[in-house]
């Protein structure tokens, strides 16, 4: 289970507020890194999204030091990092929020297997949203027997 992810944004506070609205959660400062915020739906899983300033890089510490936060002013505005997140918000409300923000929002069919709403934060970072009516189909697709058929694999590798 993934409990939290970190993403970067040009305007971290605003992005965190919008994500909190979509997720019907709360936004609060992330005290570990300046100008960073946490979005928390307060679910039973301890789920969270950290929103850091664009250009934040997580660097391993030296020896026993923990993670270091560095700012790279020449970082690309695009990344392969994205997440699919179930939200309690309707498709119509998600589209309304995206339109208000001027962000790209599009309903997409992923090969006939499941659907997501591509929610492009600041038109740079992809979050695939699954409103309640999308979740069951996604979860059905992610079952071992279906994934074996999808990948053409007889057995899934054990962890």
Enumerate domains of the chain plus CATH numbers: 4-151 (3.10.180.10)
Strand partners, 29: 37
Question: What global pTM score does this model have?
Answer: 0.86
In the predicted model, is pLDDT for residue 39 greater than 60? Answer: yes
Residue 148, C-beta contacts closer than 8 angstroms, at least 6 positions apart? 154, 155, 156
In the predicted model, is pLDDT for residue 157 greater than 80? Answer: no
In the predicted model, is pLDDT for residue 71 greater than 90? Answer: no
pLDDT digits (tens, 9 = 90+) for 41-52: 999 999 999 999
Helix orientation angle between 132-141 and 144-151, rounded to the nearest 10 degrees:
70
Percent of the chain past pLDDT 90, that is, above it, reads 72
């Amino acid at each position: 289970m993934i409990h939290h992810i970190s993403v970067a944004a040009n305007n971290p506070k605003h992005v965190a507020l919008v994500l909190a609205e979509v997720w019907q959660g709360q936004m609060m400062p992330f005290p570990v890194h300046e100008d960073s915020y946490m979005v928390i739906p307060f679910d039973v899983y301890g789920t969270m999204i950290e929103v850091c300033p664009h250009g934040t890089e997580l660097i391993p510490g030296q020896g026993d030091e923990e993670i270091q936060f560095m700012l790279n002013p020449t970082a690309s505005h695009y990344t392969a990092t994205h997440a699919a997140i179930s939200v309690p918000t309707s498709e119509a409300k998600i589209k309304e929020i995206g339109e208000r923000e001027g962000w790209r929002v599009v309903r997409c069919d992923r090969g006939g297997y499941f659907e997501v709403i591509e929610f492009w934060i600041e038109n740079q970072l992809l979050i695939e949203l699954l409103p309640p009516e999308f979740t069951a189909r996604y979860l059905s697709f992610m079952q071992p027997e279906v994934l074996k058929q999808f990948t053409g694999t007889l057995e899934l590798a054990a962890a």
